[in-house]
Amino acid sequence: MQSSEPSGQRPYDVLVIGGGIIGLVTAWRAAQRGLRTALADPEPGRGAAGVAAGMLAAVTELHHGEQTLLALNLASARRFPDFVAELQEVSGQDTGYRACGTLAVALDADDRAHLRELHTLQRQSGLESEWLTGRECRRLEPMLAPGVRGGLRVDGDHQVDPRRLAAALVTACGRAGVVVHRAAAERLSVVRDRAAGALLADGSELVADQVVLAAGSLSGRLAGVPPEVLPPVRPVKGQVLRLTVPPSYAPFLSRTVRAVVRGGEVYLVPRENGELVLGATSEELGWDTTVTAGGVYELLRDAHELVPGITELPLTETRAGLRPCSPDNAPLLGPTALPGLLLATGHHRNGVLLTPVTGDVMADVLTTGELPGPARPFTPRRFAPVPPPVRQERQELSA
């Protein structure tokens, strides 16, 4: 990976602030379009993707009122096979993509009613899912608890390993000529009412025609960004556990298994290498990333009700990450009201799923200035402050 200043201090075409999977895919795709691209991050490839389970759950994580987001999620899910094939070819690294499908199950009457509701919404949205009895669920996944009351089989919701995805993107960026500055951006530079680069923590000053703020939940905190364009993202904590399925226990689970237990989401994502990811809490606790006894207890308790055999498995890792959440749970993509400043943040629960489409959309807007059709609803301008009524109108009204 390159790490030097551009020759002759020529400005970059694009500076991406943030080296999580969203920043990396943006930089990679921009560089592939021939843009001279730099990326600033002290540890590219880390961030929320280092914690996330990597479910590509467009259908099983559908919520009422999120039909517009569904269209973007599905567009990205469709791109995944080609995206990982290209990334694996370019980087020479495996991403752990697994077309394994998902089974969402119910443990009691309330869960069952919730799943029935989800099934109705899925059908109304034209999505494929099949209602199964408890017995049919256990036939598919024999490790499920005998008390499972029914479930939804969704063969199109797959998984990828976000850590491997991030590592492959770091390599792909290097191979595409992205210049990586291993330092945090401290301040956005604004020159004549236009974003013009950034000052980094190592003292370097990068100059760029366009700046993409893709710093996950930190995106709302960058100094120098005018308050009216600062992205309204907040951190939502997720605690995630990793267990290991010894070879003698395999096959333990053959697909992602998930449920809503006592109102809390729990999911188990089995990797081909024996890792079993168990997630996740959803906590509004600001910047706190402590792994708590309560969080671990609740995840294990709920997962144990679902798949009792998990208590036999070695617990190998406990982590907490921060999802970048916007006021409508959807991402912010594209130009802001400050010329030269674009956003790629706020992906909340869908950051991994939305990686391919985000890369394509951001490369389009960086090269043409226009957000492509499917991404237009996600313009950051939807959160622009409403201007006060003009004085003249008030005078007319009182006349």
| Sites of contact with ligand GLY (CB under 6 A) | 55, 61, 238, 279-280, 323, 349
Minimal distance in Å, beta carbon 343 to ligand GLY? 20
Closest CA to 349 of 170, 217, 166, 213: 217
For 165, 353, 357, 359, the CA distances from 57, given in Å and listed in that order, are 16, 7, 15, 19
Please name the residues in contact with 41: beta carbons below 8 A apart, sequence gap of 6 or more: 17, 18, 19, 20, 23, 180, 181, 182, 183, 184
**Residue among 39 and 154 whose Cβ is closer to ligand GLY:** 154
CA 95 to CA 232: how far, in whole Å?
Answer: 31
Closest-approach residue to ligand GLY (CB): 349
Minimal distance in Å, beta carbon 57 to ligand GLY? 6
**Residue among 141 and 157 whose Cβ is closer to ligand GLY:** 157
Minimal distance in Å, beta carbon 59 to ligand GLY? 12
**Residue among 36 and 349 whose Cβ is closer to ligand GLY:** 349
Instruction: Count the helix, strand and coil residues of the chain and give each as a percent rounded to the nearest 5.
Output: 35, 25, 35
Minimal distance in Å, beta carbon 134 to ligand GLY? 25
**Residue among 61 and 275 whose Cβ is closer to ligand GLY:** 61
Minimal distance in Å, beta carbon 350 to ligand GLY? 7
**Residue among 32 and 60 whose Cβ is closer to ligand GLY:** 60
The residue with tokens 């070819």 is 89
**Residue among 13 and 161 whose Cβ is closer to ligand GLY:** 161
Q: Is 373 helix (H, G, I), strand (E, B) or coil?
A: helix
Minimal distance in Å, beta carbon 352 to ligand GLY? 8
Q: Taking the mean position of all CA atoms in its chain, how far away is CA 395?
A: 49
The number of beta carbons lying within 10 Å of the beta carbon of residue 310 is 21
Report the largest interatomic distance among the alpha carbons of the chain, rounded to a whole angstrom: 85
What is the chain's alpha carbon radius of gyration, rounded to the nearest angstrom?
Answer: 22
